[in-house]
Amino acid sequence: MRTVIISAVWFAVAAVPGMAQPQQHGDAQSPPASVYAGQEKRDVKALSEQEQHAWLEGQGMGLARAAELNGYPGPMHVLELADPLRLTPAQTVTTRELMNRHKVEVRKLGAQLVETERHLDGAFRERRVSDAGIEHMTGEIGELQARIRASHLQTHLAQTALLTPEQVAEYSRLRGYGR
């Protein structure tokens, strides 16, 4: 379980836009600045404003890439491609409902994740952090990240079941996969 959480945390952090920061270099007289320079001013040190927004809005952030790139369409893009996919009215309604349920779920989990990151940050800022506290909060963050990713993947699975094989193939073609 610990390996799963660590893997989920690693993947989620690697997948979130804005995580990589360019190396800043000082002049010849001073040591190079940390890649973290300026981030100490953030509200939640571990998350940029973009990252917080992405978690709170339930954005994909590449979390369903395993599904998307293996022929499991996502509802947002299915709706964007509704006309060329020739979705039926029932498919359109069901896809919209699927996406709305998914967004409610991942936004709620994302808000919990951002709040837990805020608590972790506060524990360090206020010098009241402990080994047990770190273990608890990072475990909770990892679990939330895993649940968010699972929701994204499960939503792609559910969306695929709503489409015909021909629509799935057309989706892949329209998205530029396999060219």
Mean pLDDT (the chain) is: 90
Domain ranges of the chain: 2-174
Kindly tell me the number of DSSP H helices and DSSP E strands found in the chain: 8, 0
pLDDT of residue 29: 81
pTM for this model (two decimals):
0.82
Identity at 152, one-letter amino acid code: H
- CB within 8 Å of 31: residues ≥ 6 apart: none
Helix (H) or strand (E) segment spanning residue 45: none
Q: How confident is the model at residue 178 (pLDDT cuts 50, 70, 90)?
A: confident
Sign of the four-CA dihedral 142, 145, 151, 154: negative
CB 160 within 8 A of CB 72: yes
**Which one has a higher pLDDT value, 179 or 115?**
115
102 pLDDT band, cuts 50/70/90, is very high
22 has a pLDDT exceeding 80: no
Query: Which pLDDT belongs to residue 25?
Result: 54
Residue-wise pLDDT tens digits, 41-95: 999 999 999 999 999 999 999 999 999 999 999 999 999 999 999 999 999 999 9
CB 159 within 8 A of CB 80: no
- Quick: pLDDT tens for 112-130: 999 999 999 999 999 999 9
**Stretch 167-174: mean pLDDT, rounded?**
98
